[in-house]
Amino acid sequence: MRRTKQASPLITLSINGNDHMAVVKPFTTLLQVLRDQLGLTGAKCGCNQGVCGACTVLIDGKPARACLSLAANCTGRQIVTIEGVGSVAQPSRVQQAFIDAGAVQCGFCTPGMVLSSESLLAENPKPSVAEIRTALSGNLCRCTGYKRIIEAVRLASKAEAQP
């Protein structure tokens, strides 16, 4: 990556509903800003090529690759990271379903999986197995064999359906 000596511009990013200042070079990715400047390490760097999905965040509600998003190009967008979903006291229904369904193994893919699932259920509260598999096909998992993750999304979708 190109090394620059000149002062880098300060930008404002909307992350998890709050404005955050970040110092970025043109080539700085959103993933670098989240992890290195803002301490939001829930998004992982698995390949830095947009293939593995470990860095998935929601940009304007849609799953996107933080590693392929230049930070400077994200101003004015609503970014949601895993830190913006649920809380220790109250995990989201998707997060709770991942726990309950046994969908968590090493956990490296989990934040991305959860975010892709949140976005799917927001758009399609009762997805079929086929729709779940398609929606999450951009998130690699090497531990679970995927079945429990599908079960978790199904479980969350049932939980969503309850008043």
Partner 1 sequence: MEPSFHQPRTLDAALKLLASHEDARPLAGGATLVAMMNAGLAEPPVLVSLRHIKELKAVKALPDGGLRLGAMILHRELASEKRLKGGFAVLREAAGQVAVPPVRNMGTLGGATAFADPAADYPPALAALGARIEAASTKGRRSIAADEFFLDWYAQALEPGEMIAAITLPAWPKNAVGVYEKLAKVTGDLAIVSIALVLAQDKGVVTHLGVAVGGCGPKPVTAPEAARAMIGKPIDDAAIARLGQALAEAADPVDDVRASADYRRLVLPRMLAKAFVRASLPAKERR
Partner 2 sequence: MTVHTPIVGTSVPKRDAKEKVLGQARYIADMTRPGMLHGAILQSHVAHARILGYDVSEALKVPGVHAVLTGDDVGDFRMGAFVKDETAIAKEKILYLGEPVAAVAADDEETARYAARLIKVAVEELPGVFSPEEALAPGAPILHEKLESYFKVFPAVCGGNLLSQTEITEGDVAKAWAECDIIVEGEYETQPQYHLSMEPCGALSEIDVDGRITLWSANQSVFRVQANVCESLGLPMSRLRCLTPKVGAGFGNKMEPHIQPICVALTMKTGRPVKMILNRAEDMETVRARHPFKVKMKTGAKKDGTLVAREVEALLDGGAFGDDSPGVLGYSLLMARGPYRIPNARCFGRVAYTNKMRFGAFRGFGNPQVSLAGETQIDQIADKLGIDHFEIRLKNALKDGERWFGGQLLKSNGLIECIEKARAASESVKHLKSQAAKGKLRGRGIAVGGHISGLLATGAIVRLLEDGTAVLNTGAVDIGQGSDTVLTQLCAETLRLPLDKVALASPDTDGSPYNWGTTASRVTYTTGRAVVAASKDVERQIKDHAAAMLNTTPDQLELRDGGFVGIKGSNTQLPYLAVSARAHWGVGGPIVGTNTLVFDTPTIDPKHGAATGLPFGQIGVFSFCAMVCEVDIDETTGKVEPVRAWYAADVGKAINPRLVEVQMEGGFVQGMGFALTEELVWEGPRLVNPNLRDYKAPTMLDAPYDIHTQIVEHPEPDGPCGAKGVGEISLVPVPAAIANAIADAAGIHLTQLPFTPERVLNAMLAKKS
Does 58 bind partner 2 (CB under 8 A)? Our answer is no
Angle between helices 147-161 and 110-123 (to 10 degrees): 40
- Which two tokens mark 129? 């197995």
Q: Which of residues 79-138 bind partner 1 (CB under 8 A)?
A: 116, 134-135, 137-138
Does 79 bind partner 2 (CB under 8 A)? Our answer is no
Q: Which of residues 138-157 bind partner 1 (CB under 8 A)?
A: 138-139
When binding is defined by CB under 8 A, the residue of 33, 54, 72, 82 that contacts partner 1 is: 72
When binding is defined by CB under 8 A, the residue of 9, 106, 123, 126 that contacts partner 2 is: 106
Q: How far apart are CA 130 and CA 127, in angstroms?
A: 8
When binding is defined by CB under 8 A, the residue of 6, 18, 49, 162 that contacts partner 2 is: 49
Would you say 58 and 116 are in contact if contact means Cβ atoms under 8 Å apart?
Answer: no
- Which two tokens mark 28? 């700085």
Does 69 bind partner 1 (CB under 8 A)? Our answer is yes
Length of the chain: 163
Q: How far apart are CA 148 and CA 102, in angstroms?
A: 6
- Which two tokens mark 71? 């930070």
- Which two tokens mark 132? 């779940």
Task: Report the helix count and the strand count for the chain, using DSSP H and E.
Answer: 5, 5
Distance of closest approach, residue 23 Cβ to partner 1, in angstroms = 13
Kindly give the pairing relationship between strand 56-59 and strand 78-80. antiparallel
Q: Which does 148 bind (CB under 5 to 8 A by kind): partner 2, partner 1, none?
A: partner 2
When binding is defined by CB under 8 A, the residue of 18, 49, 90, 162 that contacts partner 1 is: 49
Does 26 bind partner 2 (CB under 8 A)? Our answer is no
Residues forming contacts to partner 1 in the complex (CB under 8 A) are: 1-2, 4-6, 25-27, 29, 48-50, 53, 56, 59, 62-65, 67-70, 72-73, 75, 116, 134-135, 137-139
